[in-house]
Amino acid sequence: MVVDSNIGFNKTNAVIESSLSYDVDLTELASPTGSLVVFHKNNAVGIDSCHHWEKVRAPGEEDYPIQDCYWDYLRVYTLPDTNLLGASVQTVPAEWMILGRAVPPQVDILEEEMDGVRGFGTMKVVPAGESLSTSFRFAMPPGVLEAQPDPGQMAYRLKIQKQPGTLGVPITVRVHLPNGAVVQSVPSGAIVQGQNVLFQAALTTDIEIEIVFLVP
């Protein structure tokens, strides 16, 4: 689950376009990994600098400001035994933040006392008229793969949860299977390309994906 939290004292969410891309590498069954890219495009106009506080509002937006930079504390929730292998995140300049302190390019390991999940968070700011991608690479627990009754048969399952209040965020999931694997079943609408499965959807509700395959 990917969660955006607007902490910019504005309503800029109204002009933000976002999308998700998730690549799952199952080529080594004992050490599956996942790579997530979160994309944001800020369609705000008429703003030439980012001021977290003491802003100059666009005309007519004194009470309901939309045209602004986008301050987002981005969180990603995964299975509890997931480990972060690396990330490409933003350095936020000091002049963009309310306290006048730069935010280093770091990912926080969240302690939110929620059973069954592990959370990661990072700060990002998308200036008006610009786009920004944030990426994470995870080592997933082997339990994401489940042996099936037939010899050599495996199942991969993924649950993608929708952030409440959002409108159909596009998501692309690519699953890379071991060399020689034979795909037996995929979700409706998925495309099989050799040992790769492509699934695209809009997050209008939670989505559950199951891929069953045979390994040599």
Q: What is the pLDDT of residues 146-183, one digit of tens each?
A: 999 999 999 999 999 999 999 999 999 999 999 999 99
Structural domain range at position 156: 2-214
pLDDT of residue 142: 85
pLDDT of residue 57: 84
CA distances from 57 to 8, 11, 17 (A): 13, 12, 21
pLDDT tens digits for range 9-32: 999 999 999 999 999 999 999 999
For residues 213 and 177, the answer to whether their CB atoms sit within 8 Å is yes
CATH of the domain at 42: 2.60.40
| Total domains present in the chain | 1
Mean pLDDT of 38-47: 95
Nearest alpha carbon to residue 35 among 195, 183, 173? 173
Nearest alpha carbon to residue 34 among 23, 44, 48? 23
State the pairing for strand pair 16-25/169-176: parallel
Distance between terminal CA atoms of the chain? 33
Mean pLDDT of 88-111: 97
Going by pLDDT thresholds of 50, 70 and 90, the confidence category of residue 185 is very high
pLDDT of residue 63: 84
pLDDT tens digits for range 109-123: 999 888 999 999 999
